[in-house]
Structure formats: C-alpha cells, structure tokens
Amino acid sequence: MTPVMTAVETQEKLSVKDLITGPELSRGDVELIFALAARMKRVPKSYAHALEGRQLAMIFEKPSLRTRVTFEVGMTSMGGHAVYLDHAKPRLGERESVADVARNLERWVDGVVARTFAHSAVVELAENASIPVINGLSDLVHPCQALADLFTLEERFGGLRGLRMAYVGDGNNVCHSLMTFGAKLGMQVNVATPPGFEPNEVMVKEAKEAAQANGGKIALFHEPLEACDGVQAVYTDVWASMGQEFAAQLRAQVFAPYRVTSGLMAVADRRAVFMHCLPAHRGQEVTDEVIDSPQSVVFDQAENRLHVQKAILLLLLAENVQ
C-alpha cells in the first residue's frame, strides 16, 4: 500500500495563509501547487486520508457547478468534509457582518472557500479569520480557475516559460487571474478586448511588473487577430458575467467581433488549444465548431480544477494533519 503523503510530511508549505487575489503567491508557491497537483492526479489514493477530520465551509453567493463540485469532492476524497452555505439571499454581510461570520466559522471549521460578488468580502473574511480563506471567485479575480488553466497548459506543452496565450473578450476576473499567474510563470499573455472593456488598470500594472521580473510579457490589444497571431492558446469567457445579465443584449452587439471562430484559431500556432472556463454560451463567444474540436481542452481544464484545488486545500489545511 502506498503511504499517505501530506504537505507536512514533505515539508511543503505555501508562503501565505490564504489564497485571495493571486499576486500574494510567489512563483515558488505556484510551482509547488502544480507539482503537488500532478502527484495527486497521478496517485489520488495516496491522499485518501490526508485531510481526515478537516472541515471546510463553502460560502456561495453565486451559482456554481465546477467550483462547488470540485471543492466538495476534493475534500471528501481526502477524508475531509465540506459544508455548503447558500448566501444568494441574503448576501454575505447583509444578515450579520462579514467579520462576525469569520469569527464564528473559525471556531467550527478549518478553512473557508468564498464565492462572492464583492472582492472586498473575501478580503474581509481573511482579515478576520485565523483559518485559511480561499477565493472561489469574486468580481475581481478567479485564482483557482486560472491556476487550473495554466496547469492544463503545462501538461499539454511540458512547460510555460515563453508560452504565448491570447485572451479574447471581456477584461474580467478570469482575465485578471490569467495575467497574474501567466506573468509569474514567464508567459506572454495577450489580451484583446473592445475599447472600454479593458482589464483593471491596477491588475494590469501588477501583472506587467511580475512579467518583467519573470521574463514574461503582458500586451493589450483591441484587434483579436493581432492578439491571436502565433499563440499556443486562445482563451475566451462569457461576454456578460454573473451580475451583468442586464447588459447582455448590449454586450452581445459590442463583443460580436470577438467571437472565437475557426478563422480566428487559424491564425494561432498549429498546435494551439482552445480554452474556456465554462459555462459557455455556444454561438456567442465561441462557435460549436471550435469548442467541440480536437483543439478544445475545456473539459481538461474542468477536470484539473479538482486536482489543483485539492493541492491548494492540502497545502493550506494540512498544518495539523499527522
């Protein structure tokens, strides 16, 4: 029987207590997550008891398939337990303060995953809880998704330094996290958006600084063909994120030239893959021909949410695991 491996036994730890925005993680942290995720994917049974007795609270203001299932299954597969807290109504902080929620949860559970609208809610949870807090998505960033995405690219291409990715569409939370981690890992990340829908200026500035320090590059475009020229990965997301449904019709008109088609994929590298964090609005941001093609790795990305998040959970919650 293969012995159970834990972060404690191998003396592997992240340099941070929480995963909130992304820039707080070092390049070494990201590489550690990827290395552990690869081992856990290869020999999952070796970790069957790694979080035995650990409890995870999951606070969700938004609907979820991949985030909820992968965190719940991840905890269960390592012997732990996850408690789902539906905060669609009321939202976090409306019934009682975020600080009080944090101080209650730290008495009962070993960690928190929060999927919120306001990024400040996740920040406030982490500031007031002594236990680890993981951002499962906020309006600003989606770090777990981007980590799983880049892990998928590393599997496909064998390394990330110098790899070129084009993100096409809205400069949203997923875009921010792809820039953040792509920059740390020495990638070139091209972002093509309609004028007025560029990514957050602060996130761009931080990503460019990280890229300069790690041999990567962040470049902004308004022309999708220019951004996708010769890249190894073309990534898109929905045009209207959760909470922006009121603007969906207007956005559909503005973003129509940014639809990922076989024509757009043709200007990328011949080995290029298509990526999407899902759920996809087929026929809007991507055609069926592309998302169902052999180039598409969207379900590999979805699977790797499980492995990467298991690694994050283990690295953050395993302190008291013997």
**What are the pLDDT digits (tens) for 101-124?**
999 999 999 999 999 999 999 999
19 DSSP assignment:
B
* Strand spans (E) along the chain: 55-60, 81-86, 111-115, 133-137, 164-168, 188-192, 217-221, 233-236, 273-276
**225's tokens:** 């063909």
Question: Would residue 39 show up in a list of annotated catalytic residues for this protein?
Answer: no
**pTM exceeds 0.85:** yes
Q: With cut-offs at 50, 70 and 90, classify the pLDDT of residue 90.
A: confident
Whether 253 is catalytic is no
Check residue 243 and give its pLDDT: 61
pLDDT band at 163 (very low <50, low <70, confident <90, very high): very high
User: Residue 244's pLDDT is what?
Assistant: 65
| Confidence band of 295 (pLDDT split at 50, 70, 90) | very high
Integer Cα distance of 226 and 296 in angstroms: 21
Average pLDDT, the chain: 93
What mean pLDDT is predicted for residues 80-94?
A: 89
Strands 164-168, 111-115: pairing kind: unpaired
Number of Cβ within a 10 Å radius of residue 201: 9
E strand or H helix that includes residue 30:
helix 27-42
Integer distance in angstroms from the first to the last C-alpha of the chain?
A: 18
Please tell me which residue in 142, 176, 259, 276 is annotated as part of the active site. 142
| Candidate list 54, 144, 277, 307, residue with the active-site label | 277
On the question of pLDDT at 92 being above 70, the answer is yes
Per residue in 95-106, pLDDT (tens digit) is: 999 999 999 999
230: left (phi over 0), alpha (psi -120 to 50) or beta: left
Query: What is the C-alpha separation between 121 and 110, in angstroms, rounded?
Result: 19
The active-site residue, picked from 66, 115, 176, 307, is: 115
CA atoms in the 13 A half-sphere facing the CB of 64: 29
What is residue 321's predicted lDDT score, i.e. its pLDDT?
Answer: 33
pLDDT at position 320, please?
40
Q: What is the mean pLDDT of residues 208-226?
A: 98
- Which has more pLDDT, 292 or 247? 292
- Four-CA torsion 79, 63, 311, 135, nearest 10 degrees: -120
Q: What pLDDT does 317 receive?
A: 97
pLDDT tens digits for range 34-78: 999 999 999 999 999 999 999 999 999 999 999 999 999 999 999
269 catalytic? Reply is no
Catalytic-labelled residue, pool 68, 87, 145, 232: 145
Measure the CA–CA gap between 250 and 261, rounded to whole angstroms: 21
Whether 3 shows a pLDDT value over 60: the answer reads no
Task: Determine whether 277 is an active site residue.
Answer: yes
Residue 10 pLDDT exceeds 60:
no
Number of Cβ within 10 Å of residue 180's Cβ equals 28
Domains of the chain: 27-141+303-320 (3.40.50.1370), 145-299 (3.40.50.1370)
